[in-house]
Structure 1
């Protein structure tokens, strides 16, 4: 099966594959009894996927071809898809099928995508670890025998791509939920500027920080999906890496790196420098003030509690206790605290945009560790400390409303490591073009 959208499109164009055969290949991977299908798609393959593929093939015969015609894409289980129940990885949501598609889903459907099914996730997207006590936890493709975490909250989304169950996946990203699993599983994850894609028809976590992103095997794949989701044209191609001003941030984002990540990150920086990029250490003052936004769960807990209050009042015992405890941090906040955080965030976003005007992108490790074993996080202390570590770097982009991209930079066969790039608010197409250049420069390092 093709592993990229462009290779699949070539096969569709020359007739060596059709939408139905691409879907069939995905379904075979999902149905493999020795694979992760039951944990990635706990509710099975979409009942409508087969008809969508058949329809795509009929339309292609008539010359009707959209930008994603016939491309199998998985959907994180917090997007409304007409006729499907939206559970958001939880047990407390009503078993009522959605009456209409979320705008993001409608755009994928209009572009001709075949929606394979709904992927597993952290309950209500409130963790970067990816463990789900209700529907199981998909195992990371690296060292699967020992069972490592996939990262979250878009856990099933990442594994659906790594295991060939879909060519791309859409997910949400509130503090790294697309980029963390992408980094830990060895693929690409993109978080756009929040306003780039409508959030309607999606179970929210934080109205301030939520964004609709995607995961795939290449930056070009993510750019193709993002173009459909955003309604903008994709970048024309890779940027020129020579002469690009890449900032390496100082401070806490470089703390706590494992030896594996530190070695890969250093090697990656050397490669970028050898390719002509101008690297320099930079201190961003706005980043040093982000702790102002995190007290008692910050904006995320406050906005989550506003949405969850009624469900918690009637069904608290059916929540994942670790998720519930994070939402309940908002009980220690008051309305003045919330308003102050909103104002403070606006100030920091403005300051960050000015600081980033002097560089083309920022580069840093997506997360400072490789994926630990699922069993290592059985106790709450280990779980929450790991969760904080995984969220620390990616969440900066959400708090400051930047666009961000995670690109794999490890040697194939080694534990996956992601290189994260930040771009200014609204510079999404430019960041994707830079990401393509970085990806190309690192390609021979990863053989």
Structure 2
């Protein structure tokens, strides 16, 4: 397969690749061992029909749609007409098929995407690890190629990332509430872009936290991230064309670099060195507003999740993943007054952070502090599960609380376990972050990352 979606599109448009042939290769990958347990259902027949229609349209001399009948996977919390939406859960297994596509899926379909299937996920998107006791946990295909060990895929968009890493899809529609796009992208050597939440519609999805949920995509390259964002947000990215030496980048002292493992620390330092050598202005700064953040994030997600799940938990809690049910029930004890206090605290946090970051184009940090953990200890121990989940969500969730935008791109060396470099900023700085990421990706590629 081609390296990324843009390259595949060029081959299709030039007649060197048939979309239907590419789709059959995607389906072969979907059914391979590398993609085992990554999908809860496939849309093989409709996807192939879409690819064949795109080929026929091109042969007739008609303009090809933007995605030209190439395969895109869809996380199992987005409505796809004709299929149930089950959010990785047995609780919704009897749900009726969706009558219409949700807006994000409709935009992909209008762009000519061959929607290949609903991908597996953490039940109800409530964990950054990607474990699922109902459908099984897909193993991380990127790390298996390096050390052969069974490591987690990251979550909650676990199957979404695996579908791209294993070659079943060129890109994956997913969601990011506290890091659910960027975590699996980082752990699997992919690109994950979390846009400013308000730019993409989340209607027609199973919610986790409406205040934080973001519809966005996992891709193989930054230029693919730009393409998918333009489709999902129905807007054009406008790069500034400013050179890297004219950029002002920050590295934060607090929190983000605590507890890094050796591989992540080394890859992050090499990345900073490569960017500095290319002319980037990098300043180490302190962000005092970070001190009171954690309590806000936990409380807001739990109470919003509890509001949606209360009737289901009352009737069918035994069918939930017990770890997910426990986390949702944390919201039961949070009063309405406390919730409003947390929302006010978030507004104050956003204002303080925006003031602190004014003048910087973006902040650089490790996406997650460690490489993909081994799966078995997290299956065996609730204590290990809770600790790993908190660690993997720590850096990424700060951006969600900020109502910001962020992109994770691979920064590891050849034959090293995947490590993500996160570029992030405040709300509506999406074009700046994407523009910078294109430059950073080119520098890291040249440096052998």
* Residue in 1 that maps onto 2:158: 155
Task: Note the aligned Cα RMSD (angstroms).
Answer: 1.3
Q: Give the match for residue 81 of structure 1.
A: 80
Paired positions, count: 443
CA shift digits 1:19-45 (9 cap, x unpaired): 10111110111122xx13331113234
- Does residue 1:69 correspond to 2:68, yes or no? yes
SS at match of 2:84: coil
Q: Does 1:127 align with 2:130?
A: no
Q: Which residue of 2 aligns with 1:314?
A: 315
CA offsets 1:276-332 (integer angstroms, 9 cap, x no match): 0001111122222213414xx310000000000111011100000111110011122
Q: Are 1:298 and 2:296 matched, yes or no?
A: no
Query: Would you say 1:275 and 2:278 are equivalent positions?
Result: yes
Rounded to whole Å, the distance in 2 between the matches of 1:394 and 1:118 is 24
The answer as to whether partners of 2:143 and 2:418 remain within 8 angstroms in 1 is no
Contact conserved, 1:18 with 1:70, CA < 8 A, in 2? no
Find the counterpart in structure 2 of residue 211 from structure 1. Answer: 214
Q: Is the 8 A contact 1:142 1:148 kept in 2?
A: no
Which TM-score applies when normalising by structure 1? 0.97
Q: Partner of 1:396 in structure 2? A: 398
TM-score by length of 2: 0.96
* Contact persistence 2:240–2:432 (CA under 8 A): no
Following superposition, the deviation at residue 213 of structure 1 comes to 1.2
List runs of 5+ in structure 2 lacking aligned partners: none
Aligned equivalent of 2:49, options 48, 51, 55: 51
- Unaligned regions of 5+ residues in structure 1, if any? none
Q: Does 1:23 align with 2:23?
A: yes
CA distances 1:3-22 after superposition (whole Å, capped 9, x unpaired) = 31111111112211121011
**Other structure's SS at 2:36 match:** helix
Describe the SS at the equivalent of 1:189: strand
Helix, strand or coil: the match of 1:42?
strand
SS at match of 1:47: helix
| More deviation, 361-370/91-100 | 91-100
How far the C-alpha of 1:446 sits from its partner, in A, is: 3.0
Alpha-carbon separation, structure 2, partners of 1:330 and 1:189: 29
CA contact (8 A) 1:170 1:214 kept: yes
What secondary structure does 2:42 align onto?
coil
Alpha carbons of structure 1 residues 54 and 437: separation in structure 2 relative to 1, 3 Å: same
- Is the contact between residue 120 and residue 154 of structure 1 (CA under 8 Å) also seen in structure 2? yes
For the residues of structure 2 that align with 1:42 and 1:341, how far apart are their CA atoms?
A: 36
Deviations 1:361-413 (A, max 9, x none): 00000000001110121200000100000000000010110000001000121
